[in-house]
Amino acid sequence: MAKTLLYRLFGVGKIPAQMRAALEAEGILLIDEGIAGSVTYRNFSAPGKRFSWRKQAFTGSIALTRVRLVGLQYSSFAINIPLSDERLGKLRFGVEPDDTLLVEFDPSLFHDDWSGVMEYRFHTTQARPFIEALLKAPNQSR
């Protein structure tokens, strides 16, 4: 997939240098920066927010290290979960037909006062390699 215009012009969606250094220290297995992404909320509720359905596009990045899975929405964490975390097994991963990595989950796994469904989509040609590497991750029986 092509990098987004915001990434090509301004570097939006690039992993910040300090964070990239931390990821490199963990041993990067896969990484893709400056990619289009979206988050879809379904029947979502959080303090001060309620959506029956809402979708927001963003430019971001995704990385898999030997330690964790990281997805950035702009330069903020959207996903940051250690591979050893039991909640990783409760996330649903998929590849959609247009080379899109889907990460779907109930946000109450991470926030007690949130509910509904959140779906992150990262448009990357590496979607299948991400899934294959996640299936091989330690402590995963998916």
- Sequence spans of domains, the chain: 29-135
Q: Is the pLDDT of residue 45 over 90?
A: yes
Q: Is the pLDDT of residue 127 over 50?
A: yes
Q: Confidence band (pLDDT; 50, 70, 90) for 136?
A: confident
Question: Quick check: helix, strand or coil at residue 47?
Answer: coil
Q: Confidence band (pLDDT; 50, 70, 90) for 142?
A: very low
CA angle 113, 107, 28 (to 5 degrees): 135
Buried b (16+ CB within 10 A) or exposed e, 8-40: eeeebbbbeeebbeebeebeebbbbbbbbbbbb
Q: How far is CA 70 from the centre of its chain?
A: 6
Q: What is the pLDDT of residue 87?
A: 95
**Ordered DSSP codes for 59-72:** EEEEEEESSEEEEE
Q: Confidence band (pLDDT; 50, 70, 90) for 137?
A: confident
Class of domain 29-135: mainly beta
Q: Confidence band (pLDDT; 50, 70, 90) for 140?
A: low
Average pLDDT over residues 96-104: 94
Kindly report the pTM of this predicted structure: 0.93
Q: Rounded to whole angstroms, how far apart are CA atoms 64 and 26?
A: 9
* Averaged pLDDT score across all residues of the chain: 94
Q: Confidence band (pLDDT; 50, 70, 90) for 139?
A: low
Average pLDDT over residues 34-52: 97
